[in-house]
Amino acid sequence: MSRPLDGKVAIVTGAGRGIGRGVAATLAEAGAAVVVASRTPAQLESFVAEATAAGHRALAVATDVTDEQAVEALVVRTVAEYGRVDILVNNSGVLSSTPLLDQDPSDWDRVVGTNLRGTYLMTRAVGRHLVAQRSGKVINIASNFALMGVANHAAYAASKAGVIAFTSCMAVEWARNGVQVNAVAPGYFATELNAEMRSDPAVTEKVLKAIPARRMGEVEELAPWILLLAGTASDFMTGETIVIDGGQSAR
- Residues marked active site are found at 156
Contact call for residues 239 and 172 (beta carbons, < 8 A): yes
| Residues forming beta bridges with residue 244, ordered by sequence position | 186
Q: 84, 106, 103: which is closest to 33 by C-alpha?
A: 84
Q: What angle do CA 22, 24, 30 make, to 5 degrees?
A: 105
* Cα dihedral value 17, 41, 226, 136, nearest 10: 170
> Listing from the earlier edge strand, what are the strands of the sheet with 87-90?
58-62, 33-38, 9-13, 87-90, 136-141, 179-186, 241-244
